[in-house]
Chains A and B, each alone.
Chain A
Amino acid sequence: MRIALYRLLAVLLPLALLEILCRDRFITPLTLPAPSQILLGLWAVIEKGTFNAAILKTLTNVGLAFVLSVVVGITTGAAIHRARLLRALLEPLFSTYYAIPIYAFYPLFIVVFGLGDAPQVLIGFMLAVVSMIVSTLAGLDSVPPVLGKTALVLQLGPVETVRSVTLPYAAPYLFTGVKLAVAYAFIGVIGAEFIMSGTGLGYEIRFAYDNLDNNVMYPLILLILLIAITVNMSLDRWEWRLRARRGHG
């Protein structure tokens, strides 16, 4: 209980300090409006519904990128886990993958997929999928051989074994991948909207920035922050319940 209070204070005290600095004009409103102003701005933005379409678009694209990366990541991970040679071939690629600035290829994606939602979803997907593959591999590596033998004794086929024994055992590892995939999907999609897009939250933030419209820009930044935190906290809670039930996982 006490720790929860301290945590709350750790967030609220700096905010209060910021509020004072802003109201004192030590920080000018052109740089950063007071936190209370941003919060009120967010309320206004939500009430008016001006950006509902943009919010929906971004969340849909993030959702698409996330779901795709989880499904493709787990399937690919499970397949590669069985193919030793392929794994030996691909593993160095995975470990260097995140050194590649994927945004550099954005113009190429536009040429190939056009200006619709596809390039944004694709960037989110490409960022997220490899972490999902790597987590799946780590999870499947952690499965004790005796569970594989048990599956054989219970006459499970290879697909059924993966579905009902190895993947459930690997669930805590997969969860790490899922959490990373959510983060990467957000980064990928919103980043892509920033650079080249005509819709979405990222685009709206940049548009407001170009027009020095701090009353829109900061509330939208806050909105993204709140969405990301909410999603992450719900996943954490779910993971915690999952682990608690399994003891130490």
Chain B
Amino acid sequence: MDPQSPIHVSLRGVTKVFVSGLGRTHALGPIDIDLRRGEFFAVVGPSGCGKSTLLDVIAALTPPSQGAVTFEGRPIGNTVPDGVGVVFQENACFPWLNVADNITFGLRRQPVDKTEIEQRLQYALQLMGLQDFAHAFPSQLSGGMRQRVCIARTLVMQPRLILLDEPFGALDQQTRLLMGDELLRIWRATGATVLLITHALDEAAMLADRVAVMSARPGRILEVIETGWPRERDSQIVSVPEFGAITARLWTLLRAQSMQALRPEAV
């Protein structure tokens, strides 16, 4: 496939079935989606619908039970492909390293020379507003700051695809909105394709070019909604009427699914 093809990531018939001593759990799919190069794509769905599993499959952290994932035209194997960065919900900072060493952790293990590492570090520190905290340790930072460190650690690797698994899930609402703004800035500055997994409808509606709505387990894509936002946008978009309309549309789709997810498990 042409490396400049507009399709950056492609999933075809992807399913995931977990087999344990208790039996088989059909967690995901079948799912078919294409991520366009450079777009901001969000996935929303009720809790337990397999959103995070979907991300793990795309990142090659877990193999799909069926189907295939291709990244830049090549099928992904058992290891995380070059050019893919992942930010998780949980605090993934290394507590024994200061902020600067956390950020350059992966970079120092790549064939990148020292001045280049320093340049990328300074750029990431500035982009994430961490300049004054380069020598601080994660235990001295707030949850939001720690998540910035994890995002910065991903950014210095210059990924072409950034996967975010509910990265702001543990943060308060105001911090989430501001982090959303920063995410948009990063997205524009890097030109990377972004896949954001979230359970927050407003977050998806405000940030993404397209929002995929997932069903209750086994998670399937119910619909993909185009937001039609301009590339230059920020959290103030929450005040335009279309934002309300999109969020309402997402909720209409999700309401039944979320109620289903709340019902007791039928195994």
Interface residue SS majority, chain A: helix
**Also in contact, A147 and B94, with CB within 8 A (given A160-B109, A246-B139):** yes
Chain A interface residue count, CB cutoff 8 Å, equals 21
**Measured between C-beta atoms, what is the minimum distance from B61 to chain A in Å?**
6
Question: B94 to A169, Cβ gap below 8 A?
Answer: yes
Q: Which of A150, A168, A171, A246 is in CB contact (< 8 Å) with B92?
A: A150
Interface 0/1 of A166-183, CB less than 8 Å to B = 001101000000000000
**Also in contact, A165 and B94, with CB within 8 A (given A152-B61, A246-B137):** yes
Question: A149 to B137, Cβ gap below 8 A?
Answer: no
Residues of A within 8 A of B96 (CB): 168-169, 171, 245-246
Interface residue SS majority, chain B: loop
**Measured between C-beta atoms, what is the minimum distance from B102 to chain A in Å?**
10
Decide yes or no whether A155 CB sits under 8 A from chain B: yes
Q: How far apart sit A21 and B203, CA to CA, in the bound complex (Å)?
A: 78
Decide yes or no whether B25 CB sits under 8 A from chain A: no
**8 Å CB interface, A104-150 against B:** 144, 146-147, 149-150
Decide yes or no whether B84 CB sits under 8 A from chain A: yes
Decide yes or no whether B105 CB sits under 8 A from chain A: yes
**Measured between C-beta atoms, what is the minimum distance from B187 to chain A in Å?**
19
Decide yes or no whether A71 CB sits under 8 A from chain B: no
Residues of A within 8 A of B90 (CB): 144, 146
Decide yes or no whether B79 CB sits under 8 A from chain A: yes
Residue of B nearest to A145 (CB): B90
Question: B139 to A248, Cβ gap below 8 A?
Answer: yes
Residues of A within 8 A of B79 (CB): 152, 155
Question: B61 to A149, Cβ gap below 8 A?
Answer: yes
Question: B109 to A154, Cβ gap below 8 A?
Answer: yes
Q: Which of A153, A160, A249 is in CB contact (< 8 Å) with B59?
A: A153
Q: A147-B92, A153-B85 are in contact. List 18 more A-B contacts (CB 8 A).
A: A144-B90, A146-B88, A146-B90, A146-B91, A146-B92, A152-B61, A152-B80, A155-B80, A155-B82, A155-B106, A169-B94, A169-B95, A245-B96, A246-B139, A247-B95, A247-B138, A247-B139, A247-B140
